[in-house]
Amino acid sequence: METLTSLGFSTYAQWSILATLVFFLLTIVGFIFKWGIRFRLVGITGFMIVLTVGLFGLGLGLFERTEIPGAVRFSRVYDNGGNQVVIVVEPSITETELEATLRQAANDYFSYGRTSGIDNKLTIRVRTLVHPESGESLPLYIGQVQRSLSVKDDQNMKIYIFEDQFNELSKYQKITKD
pLDDT digits (tens, 9 = 90+) for 73-128: 999 999 998 899 999 999 999 999 999 999 999 999 988 788 776 788 999 999 99
User: What is the 3-class SS of 51-79, one letter each residue?
Assistant: HHHHHHHHHCCCCCEEECCCCCCCEEEEE
Whole-number pLDDT of residue 176 = 55
Indicate the domain borders of the chain: 2-59, 70-177
Going by C-beta distance under 8 Å and a sequence separation of 6 or more, which residues neighbour residue 29?
35
Asked whether the whole model's pTM tops 0.75, one would answer no
pLDDT digits (tens, 9 = 90+) for 24-40: 999 999 999 999 999 99
Residue 178 has pLDDT above 90, yes or no: no
Whole-number pLDDT of residue 177 = 55
Residue 44 has pLDDT above 50, yes or no: yes
User: What is the 3-class SS of 145-159, one letter each residue?
Assistant: EEEECCCCCCCCCEE
d(CA 177, CA 174): 5
